[in-house]
Structure 1
């Protein structure tokens, strides 16, 4: 499982490997185990991406405020629009 962040100045990849399910063993227990692992990895990936985006947003706000280009509240609003 992968996610990629790409901006004009920076890129970052997030990877959480998960072993593929063997289609030959399609019993319910194997499927349940695989889906539980997939759900766990998805949650981990989402948490990592959210943390990264929050960090980037805070860095952008601080950078804009330090440069005196905009007030901190305006920088925060702009970052929220960019990162969601």
Structure 2
């Protein structure tokens, strides 16, 4: 039987001023049953992908906050839009 090399789930963020690599090791399968090994591998991937997505989202949110601070104060309209992001806002007529 051939040796199984270490596999990784990896995403790379690249910008002009930064590069960040997100990596999760995928456990090597020791099963001699090919179907069981594939199912186990896919189960590991299925659990690792959302974890990777969460890490990327946290990183990108931090980058956005840093960019905002670098740009200075946010206008009142932009602040209100950010506060209500993803919500249905009904404008009331006065």
Compute the TM-score of the two structures, normalised by the length of structure 1: 0.67
Q: Return the alpha-carbon distance in structure 2 between the equivalents of residues 23 and 34 of structure 1.
A: 11
Tell me by how many angstroms 1:20 deviates: 4.8
CA contact (8 A) 1:6 1:12 kept: yes
Which structure has the greater CA radius of gyration?
Answer: 2
Compute the TM-score of the two structures, normalised by the length of structure 2: 0.60
- As a proportion of its length, which structure holds more strand? 2
Aligned to 2:25: 17
Tell me the C-alpha RMSD between the 2 structures: 2.8
Aligned to 2:69: 62
- As a proportion of its length, which structure holds more helix? 1
Which residues of structure 2 form unaligned runs of 5+? 1-8, 83-94
1:38 aligns with 2:30: no
How many residue pairs get matched?
72
CA contact (8 A) 1:5 1:11 kept: yes
Tell me by how many angstroms 1:32 deviates: 2.7
Structure of greater relative contact order (alpha carbons < 8 Å, 6+ residues apart): 1
